[in-house]
Amino acid sequence: MDRRFFLASGASAFGATLLPSGLFAQPGARDAELNAAFEEIFRRAVARSPELASSLGLDKGPGAPLKHRLSPRTVEERERQLALTREALARLAAFDPKTLSPAAQLNLEVVRYSLTGQTTAPERFHIDSAIRPYRIFQQGGAYFSVPDFLNTAHTVASAEDCEAYLDRLAAFAVALDEDSAVQKTEAGRGFLAPGWSLDLTLQQMEKLRGQPAPTSSMVLSLANRAKAKGLAGDWQGRAARIVETEVYPALDRQIALVRALRPTSRPGDGIWRLPQGEAIYAVALEQATTTRFTPDEVHKMGLAQVAEISAALDTILAANGYKGGTVGERLARLNVDPAQLYPDTAEGRAALIAGLNAGVRDMYTRLPRDFATLPNAPLEIRAVPVEIQDGASNGYYNRASLDGSRPAIYFINLKDVGDWPKYSLPSLTYHEGVPGHHLQISLAQESKDIPTLRKLGFFSAYSEGWALYAEQLADELGAYRTPLERAGYLQSFLFRAARLVVDTGIHTKRWSREQATDYLVRTTGFAKPRSQREVERYCTQAGQACSYKVGHMAWTRARARAQAILGPRFDLKRFHEVLKDGAMPLTILERRVEERARAEARG
């Protein structure tokens, strides 16, 4: 599980600490009833998703049986989930906004927005998601997610936890077969990932399959953690037998299926290659950005941003001795400067992660200047597991459990340390850690003012836009210690702007993977292997890459609007307290920030 889980939520009430006394504080006649409905919707969602229960630390007590299971991955389960979502929407439709407080009205609006969005792909296209239309690809499928989930989200503190792990290992074999069955059916409808994606998928499957069962990562994850807790039992032997006799045969069947399907994959790299591809991309772009921008508008927006950010980088690079050639060419030279590189060794990787941790500690000393509330959840920084690093993103964040039993984790892909010149790393840490995803998501989870359902809300444009805004905020806080580190932050922005061009280029202008990769290398100066991994993600997860810069521009517009309304009374700390209200669509974010600012101006 990662931060991209989207249950059903978004914004919440503006608390009394943010606004003049009493504003939005009066409960409506049906607020309590609405909150009860939210809790019931949440409870039913958790009951249908054992992985969600474990990721939130809700697989204890009454939820303990969930820790022994994995979610079904069948077409029938998709239909059951769709029916539950429709039931939830019908229940919420019974609430008249006039009977609710302004805070509850906002809760209702955002939850209904999210739930409605969840019905679109299964209803219109008979797939799980418009953004992720393929069941099995280089970053999707049980083969990719379950081993990582077992290692990072399934806690091991008792013998019962070990037994639950073994049950989930057996369930993994079932999940693989379920994925295979769905993929075979959907391939017959034309929903099959591009050939190169299937090649990457096979490489990763074979790497997982090639591990001797007794020393496989899935087995050692249990054995090592049980040993560390002093839990007696032949956990390694029992896990190895399940892997050898159940998981590996199911994985063999899936490998054989993907190999057989590989020659049938349609040419092309974008969503246009699928049945109703243009309509699917329109839905994906709207859901990823929570806006109504057309693909052409987003493409032009990206080109304009690329030009503006490149000009700023040109000035910094020239002032620091990097002259001659395009901005991308100069950044490429900077990327391979030996002074900027960690050794490509175990020691070099350890030093890189130690440097990231030092950056987090330094940022925590700066945050009180601009934030009134800081998260309590701890943050760990880990390398992406080697068995999935070939297809995994360059960096990503997993939220902490609600009960505090598992920390938040910021993963960095260290397949090639050359992807991470030192000047580029601070901005990544501020994006994934603090003041980025960790601060934003943890504050929502720790908020006492919003229903549980709201704490889990994820809108990519809101969260990724905030994370880019956090990189900008780090600049305002003086966290980039050298001009080159500041160039790294601007390169991050340039990268996200180029994504607007690339994603729309791939999916509406029929750019090839190679054409998109060349554009990214030429524009950003990132190494080709790293750029290609990114493009491969965009090809198979349509629209999501556009959420970052579109979201960032919405956050900066919202802040500028509040400043214009409040003038000298504007307080950045108070503005940032909005994070405690949870995630929301960008259109609602901008509207509510303006409403809040006007209410505050009235006093």
Query: Is residue 516 situated within a structural domain?
Result: no
Are 462 and 441 in contact, with CB atoms under 8 Å apart? no
The answer for residues whose C-beta is within 8 angstroms of residue 148's C-beta and 6 or more apart is: 385, 388
Query: Is residue 9 situated within a structural domain?
Result: no
Task: Look at residue 26 in the predicted model and tell me its pLDDT.
Answer: 57
How far apart (Å, rounded) are the C-alpha atoms in residues 144 and 96?
43
Task: Look at residue 13 in the predicted model and tell me its pLDDT.
Answer: 28
CB burial string 269-299: b at 16+ within 10 A, e below: bbbbbbebbeebbbbbbbbbbbbebebeebb
Are 198 and 258 in contact, with CB atoms under 8 Å apart? yes
Are 299 and 543 in contact, with CB atoms under 8 Å apart? no
Q: What is the dihedral of CA 337, 342, 344, 350, to 10 degrees?
A: -170
Query: Is residue 197 situated within a structural domain?
Result: yes
| Strand, helix or coil for residue 294 | coil
Task: Look at residue 10 in the predicted model and tell me its pLDDT.
Answer: 30
Query: Is residue 521 situated within a structural domain?
Result: no
Query: Is residue 300 situated within a structural domain?
Result: no
Query: Is residue 46 situated within a structural domain?
Result: yes
| Strand, helix or coil for residue 382 | strand
Angle ∠(258,390,176) on CA atoms, nearest 5: 35
Cβ–Cβ contacts within 10 Å for residue 81, how many? 19
Query: Is residue 210 situated within a structural domain?
Result: yes
Are 298 and 504 in contact, with CB atoms under 8 Å apart? yes
Instruction: Indicate the DSSP class of residue 125.
Output: I
| Strand, helix or coil for residue 381 | strand
Residue ranges of alpha helices (H) inside 94-158 are 102-120, 142-152
Cβ–Cβ contacts within 10 Å for residue 5, how many? 16
Backbone angles phi, psi at 592, to 5 degrees: -70, -35
CB burial string 436-462: b at 16+ within 10 A, e below: bbbbbbbbbbbbeebbbbbbbbbbbbb
Query: Is residue 451 situated within a structural domain?
Result: no
Cα 526 from chain centre: 21
How far apart (Å, rounded) are the C-alpha atoms in residues 484 and 334?
9
User: In terms of residue numbers, what domain contains 37?
Assistant: 31-281
pTM comes to 0.90
| Burial (CB count <10 Å: 0-12, 13-18, 19+), residue 373 | middle
Splitting the chain (603 residues) into consecutive groups of 10 residues, what average pLDDT does each group show? 34 30 59 95 94 93 97 97 97 96 90 95 98 97 96 95 98 98 98 98 96 96 97 98 98 98 98 98 97 97 98 96 95 94 96 96 97 94 86 82 87 92 95 96 88 85 97 97 96 97 98 98 92 96 97 98 97 94 93 92 89
Counting the structural domains of the chain, the total is: 1
